[in-house]
Structure 1
Amino acid sequence: MRIIGGGVVGRNGGKMGIGVGGDVSLIDVKGEGLGQLEDEFGDEMKRLMCNPVKMGD
């Protein structure tokens, strides 16, 4: 499962994906948000930082 954005909807989607045993990757442009996700989910979710230019490719 690939999730774009680590806001409320992205976090909840990640929780659901992990809950059903999915391989979850979350992509976000804010590094501090990814750090919070790491604290919350640890190794259960892959976190990728991207910038708007890369997202358009």
Structure 2
Amino acid sequence: MLPIFVILYLALALLVSFEARGSRVGFWGALVLSLVLTPFVTFGLRHLLADRGPGKTS
């Protein structure tokens, strides 16, 4: 039963990270945050990790 929860946790972390690709922290930053803080907290923080505006690259 435990491996199912680990796989679900990793899948949710990847899903949240994929959604955060265009944000300030990007995919890898969101993945680390998701793994450390849980995907649910990172999903809630996505508003604070506002999307980059057009033309902004960093």
TM-score (norm. length: structure 2): 0.31
Higher-helix-fraction structure: 2
TM (norm. structure 1) is 0.31
**Structure whose residues are more often strand by fraction:** 1
